[in-house]
Amino acid sequence: MRYLFLSLLVLFNISLAQGSGQEIYQQLCQVCHQKDALGTIIEGGLFSGDNFHETRVEDAGIAAAFPPLANNISRTYKLQGGPDYLKSVLLYGLVGKITVNSQIYDGIMPSWANLSDQELSDVLNFVLSNWSDEEIIEITATEFTVLRQENRDSETNCQARAQLNLNCQLSQEK
Protein backbone atom coordinates (compact mmCIF):
# COMPACT_ATOMS: atom_id res chain seq x y z
CA MET A 1 0.00 0.00 0.00
CA ARG A 2 2.74 2.36 0.94
CA TYR A 3 4.57 1.56 -2.28
CA LEU A 4 1.43 2.15 -4.25
CA PHE A 5 1.07 5.54 -2.64
CA LEU A 6 4.70 6.40 -3.28
CA SER A 7 4.58 5.34 -6.89
CA LEU A 8 1.38 7.28 -7.44
CA LEU A 9 3.07 10.29 -5.96
CA VAL A 10 6.05 9.84 -8.28
CA LEU A 11 3.78 9.38 -11.29
CA PHE A 12 1.81 12.44 -10.36
CA ASN A 13 4.95 14.53 -10.09
CA ILE A 14 6.25 13.25 -13.39
CA SER A 15 2.97 14.03 -15.10
CA LEU A 16 3.06 17.52 -13.65
CA ALA A 17 6.63 18.08 -14.77
CA GLN A 18 5.86 16.72 -18.20
CA GLY A 19 2.62 18.65 -18.70
CA SER A 20 2.62 19.22 -22.44
CA GLY A 21 1.91 22.57 -24.02
CA GLN A 22 -1.57 21.33 -24.79
CA GLU A 23 -2.24 20.33 -21.19
CA ILE A 24 -0.99 23.66 -19.92
CA TYR A 25 -3.24 25.42 -22.42
CA GLN A 26 -6.25 23.43 -21.25
CA GLN A 27 -5.48 23.98 -17.59
CA LEU A 28 -4.49 27.63 -17.64
CA CYS A 29 -5.41 29.45 -20.81
CA GLN A 30 -8.62 27.88 -22.07
CA VAL A 31 -10.80 29.39 -19.35
CA CYS A 32 -10.32 32.79 -20.94
CA HIS A 33 -9.16 32.24 -24.51
CA GLN A 34 -11.56 29.29 -25.01
CA LYS A 35 -11.12 25.76 -26.25
CA ASP A 36 -10.54 26.65 -29.87
CA ALA A 37 -8.61 29.83 -28.96
CA LEU A 38 -11.24 32.04 -30.58
CA GLY A 39 -11.66 34.19 -27.49
CA THR A 40 -14.99 35.63 -26.54
CA ILE A 41 -17.00 38.73 -26.35
CA ILE A 42 -19.34 39.40 -23.50
CA GLU A 43 -22.93 39.02 -24.51
CA GLY A 44 -25.56 37.52 -22.31
CA GLY A 45 -23.24 37.17 -19.35
CA LEU A 46 -19.60 36.38 -18.87
CA PHE A 47 -19.88 32.88 -17.43
CA SER A 48 -23.05 31.66 -19.05
CA GLY A 49 -21.69 28.43 -20.50
CA ASP A 50 -18.48 26.88 -21.64
CA ASN A 51 -18.74 27.86 -25.29
CA PHE A 52 -19.32 31.51 -24.93
CA HIS A 53 -17.45 32.33 -28.10
CA GLU A 54 -20.66 31.23 -29.83
CA THR A 55 -22.16 34.51 -28.71
CA ARG A 56 -19.48 36.47 -30.55
CA VAL A 57 -20.70 39.38 -32.58
CA GLU A 58 -18.02 40.86 -34.79
CA ASP A 59 -17.81 44.62 -35.11
CA ALA A 60 -20.53 45.18 -32.55
CA GLY A 61 -18.48 48.03 -31.13
CA ILE A 62 -18.56 46.49 -27.66
CA ALA A 63 -15.26 46.08 -25.86
CA ALA A 64 -14.82 42.37 -25.26
CA ALA A 65 -12.69 40.65 -22.66
CA PHE A 66 -10.66 37.79 -24.10
CA PRO A 67 -9.03 38.07 -27.51
CA PRO A 68 -8.59 35.14 -29.89
CA LEU A 69 -5.16 33.57 -30.12
CA ALA A 70 -6.05 31.50 -33.18
CA ASN A 71 -5.63 33.42 -36.41
CA ASN A 72 -3.97 36.18 -34.44
CA ILE A 73 -0.70 35.46 -32.66
CA SER A 74 0.88 33.44 -35.47
CA ARG A 75 0.60 36.62 -37.55
CA THR A 76 2.21 38.61 -34.74
CA TYR A 77 4.95 36.01 -34.56
CA LYS A 78 5.93 36.78 -38.17
CA LEU A 79 6.55 40.47 -37.42
CA GLN A 80 9.97 41.76 -36.55
CA GLY A 81 9.92 41.87 -32.74
CA GLY A 82 6.78 39.72 -32.72
CA PRO A 83 8.24 36.65 -30.98
CA ASP A 84 9.80 38.88 -28.32
CA TYR A 85 6.44 40.57 -27.71
CA LEU A 86 4.56 37.26 -27.39
CA LYS A 87 7.07 35.83 -24.91
CA SER A 88 6.94 39.07 -22.97
CA VAL A 89 3.13 38.96 -22.73
CA LEU A 90 3.35 35.51 -21.18
CA LEU A 91 6.02 36.53 -18.68
CA TYR A 92 4.78 40.01 -17.76
CA GLY A 93 1.10 40.15 -18.78
CA LEU A 94 -0.77 42.76 -20.81
CA VAL A 95 -3.17 45.63 -20.10
CA GLY A 96 -4.78 48.19 -22.36
CA LYS A 97 -7.34 48.35 -25.09
CA ILE A 98 -6.36 46.25 -28.09
CA THR A 99 -7.99 45.48 -31.44
CA VAL A 100 -7.88 42.04 -33.02
CA ASN A 101 -9.62 41.39 -36.33
CA SER A 102 -11.56 44.63 -35.89
CA GLN A 103 -12.98 43.66 -32.49
CA ILE A 104 -11.93 45.73 -29.48
CA TYR A 105 -10.78 43.88 -26.34
CA ASP A 106 -10.14 45.55 -23.03
CA GLY A 107 -9.11 43.05 -20.40
CA ILE A 108 -6.17 42.01 -18.27
CA MET A 109 -3.84 39.24 -19.28
CA PRO A 110 -2.16 37.91 -16.13
CA SER A 111 1.58 37.30 -15.90
CA TRP A 112 2.61 33.64 -15.99
CA ALA A 113 6.05 34.19 -14.47
CA ASN A 114 5.28 31.45 -11.94
CA LEU A 115 5.54 28.82 -14.71
CA SER A 116 8.93 27.34 -15.54
CA ASP A 117 10.78 28.49 -18.66
CA GLN A 118 10.11 25.07 -20.16
CA GLU A 119 6.37 25.31 -19.50
CA LEU A 120 6.24 28.80 -20.96
CA SER A 121 7.93 27.75 -24.18
CA ASP A 122 5.84 24.57 -24.41
CA VAL A 123 2.53 26.38 -24.12
CA LEU A 124 3.51 29.16 -26.52
CA ASN A 125 4.79 26.67 -29.09
CA PHE A 126 1.56 24.72 -28.74
CA VAL A 127 -0.63 27.76 -29.35
CA LEU A 128 1.51 28.95 -32.25
CA SER A 129 1.59 25.62 -34.05
CA ASN A 130 -1.87 24.28 -33.23
CA TRP A 131 -3.89 27.16 -34.65
CA SER A 132 -1.82 28.10 -37.67
CA ASP A 133 -0.47 26.60 -40.87
CA GLU A 134 2.56 28.85 -40.71
CA GLU A 135 5.92 27.34 -40.12
CA ILE A 136 6.98 28.24 -36.62
CA ILE A 137 10.56 28.12 -35.40
CA GLU A 138 10.22 26.69 -31.91
CA ILE A 139 10.75 29.06 -29.02
CA THR A 140 13.19 27.66 -26.49
CA ALA A 141 13.11 27.68 -22.69
CA THR A 142 16.41 29.59 -22.67
CA GLU A 143 14.75 32.50 -24.45
CA PHE A 144 12.46 32.85 -21.43
CA THR A 145 15.40 32.54 -19.03
CA VAL A 146 17.00 35.52 -20.76
CA LEU A 147 13.77 37.55 -20.89
CA ARG A 148 13.28 37.11 -17.13
CA GLN A 149 16.33 39.32 -16.56
CA GLU A 150 14.49 42.27 -18.05
CA ASN A 151 12.41 44.74 -16.16
CA ARG A 152 9.13 44.82 -18.05
CA ASP A 153 5.47 44.89 -17.03
CA SER A 154 1.99 44.69 -18.52
CA GLU A 155 2.09 48.39 -19.46
CA THR A 156 5.42 48.26 -21.27
CA ASN A 157 3.97 45.30 -23.18
CA CYS A 158 1.07 47.53 -24.24
CA GLN A 159 3.63 50.02 -25.58
CA ALA A 160 5.49 47.18 -27.31
CA ARG A 161 2.25 46.05 -28.99
CA ALA A 162 1.66 49.58 -30.26
CA GLN A 163 5.21 49.68 -31.63
CA LEU A 164 4.44 46.57 -33.68
CA ASN A 165 1.59 48.60 -35.22
CA LEU A 166 -0.94 46.23 -33.69
CA ASN A 167 -2.23 48.98 -31.40
CA CYS A 168 -2.72 49.09 -27.68
CA GLN A 169 -4.01 51.97 -25.63
CA LEU A 170 -3.55 52.40 -21.90
CA SER A 171 -6.61 53.78 -20.15
CA GLN A 172 -5.01 57.07 -19.05
CA GLU A 173 -4.36 57.86 -22.72
CA LYS A 174 -8.07 57.79 -23.54
Residue 108 as a binder of ligand HEC (CB under 6 A): the answer is: yes
Instruction: Classify residue 56 by burial, with Cβ atoms within 10 Å: 0-12, 13-18, 19+.
Output: middle
Under 8 Å between Cβ of 93 and 107: no
Nearer to ligand HEC, 10 or 138 (CB): 138
Nearer to ligand HEC, 32 or 145 (CB): 32
Nearer to ligand HEC, 65 or 145 (CB): 65
Residue 66 as a binder of ligand HEC (CB under 6 A): the answer is: yes
8, 9, 11, 31: which one binds ligand HEC (CB under 6 A): 31
Under 8 Å between Cβ of 68 and 36: no
Among 127, 121, 120, residue whose Cα is nearest residue 139: 121
Site for ligand HEC in 35-64 (CB under 6 A): none
In b/e form, how buried is each residue of 8-19, taking b as 16+ CB within 10 angstroms? eeeeeeeeeeeb
Nearer to ligand HEC, 5 or 47 (CB): 47
Q: In terms of DSSP H, where are the helices of 62-147? A: 73-78, 82-92, 117-130, 141-147
Residue 110 as a binder of ligand HEC (CB under 6 A): the answer is: yes
Q: Which residues bind ligand HEC (CB under 6 A)?
A: 28-29, 31-33, 65-67, 69, 72-73, 86, 89-90, 94-96, 98, 100, 105-110, 112, 123, 127, 161
